[in-house]
Amino acid sequence: MSANEARSVFTLAHLSDIHLSPLPKVKRHQLLSKRLLGYVNWHRGRKFVHRRDVLDLLTRDVKVRGPDHIAVTGDLTNLGLPQEFPPAAEWLRQLGAPDEVTAIPGNHDAYVRLHPDKTTAHWRPFMEANEAGHALYETPPGGFPFVRRFGDIALIALSSAVPTAPFVAAGWLGETQRRALADVLDRLGREGLFRVVLIHHPPLPGQAGWRRGLRDAREVRGVLRDHGAELVLHGHNHEQSVLDCETAGGPAIVVGVPSASEAVDGRVPAARYNEYAIERAGNGWCVEMTGRAATLDGQVWECEKRVLRSR
């Protein structure tokens, strides 16, 4: 759908925490960092639960359902190795064209500090404003936030991905990005658009501990409270969650989605993505969420259907 084309219902699919496997061959010198711990953890357990066949199953299901747009909120890689980013870019292209898919990085994509030209530059077509979004808001030099507009729907993409010490998976937006977020939320709000904020880490205080949480979650909640948003989508915790965040314009619905590749024996569902049907209703909005989950025997089923906003 073009940026200026109107539709009564806009469907948005949300996937996160891809952890694309298999892990490529690692050079010895690349493990002289935090990656050594991650490499050990991968081979001791994570490679058995982040399964490519499960991810491919959900990917096929998304493509068959054909949403208007797809959002991927980070952790496409495992160790942030330069050789992990081209395969992740190829997976994004399989999911859809750059104007159909929006991606942001997660903490695993920033495992250590690397020059962007060697890493997320491979995803650049999926991580930049479209023409309609750029007309509303010029992306700052750091690349975030960027805006993509599709009719009455606007996606505001943030990056909470920063390098951290071993045993720490925390995130951070920082003052510059928070100020920009406040500005863009105001601008889009004045346009009467449905504002969807994309972030990897859970944005509200208390959603994750000190080692895993968003370090400036309190400040981010303040931005949302004062400037408004309709829907906030995140990953990171590998679990489904739905919370309200009060704002000046009414509650913002904050939804976390499980990993799209994680298949743990005994856990039903094995992996999941969410699809949102967004429709203008009078002076407000109606939003219905549908959960689509994988099973270990190769099926995808509708595990949840829930109205998040009725007006």
Residue 73 lies inside a defined structural domain of this protein: yes
The pLDDT assigned to 143 comes to 94
**Digit-coded pLDDT (tens) for 190-224:** 999 999 999 999 999 999 999 999 999 999 999 99
* Nearest residue to 235 (alpha-carbon basis) of 207, 211, 210: 207
Position 2 in a domain: no
pLDDT value for 216: 97
Is residue 3 in some structural domain? Answer: no
pLDDT reported for residue 114: 67
| 120 Ramachandran zone, left/alpha/beta (phi>0; psi -120 to 50) | alpha
CATH number of 62's domain? 3.60.21.10
In a domain, residue 152? The reply is yes
On whether residue 38 sits in a domain, the answer given is yes
Q: Is the pTM of this model over 0.85?
A: yes
Q: What is the pLDDT of residue 266?
A: 64
Residue 205 within any structural domain of the chain: yes
Q: Give how many domains the chain has, as a whole number.
A: 1
Distance CA 226, CA 96 (A): 35
Tell me, yes or no, whether 21 lies in a domain: yes
Distance between CA 245 and CA 255 in Å, rounded? Answer: 11
For the chain, residues with pLDDT lower than 50 are: 1-7
**CA–CA dist 121, 82 (Å, integer):** 10
**Domain with 233 in it:** 9-309
Residue 143 lies inside a defined structural domain of this protein: yes
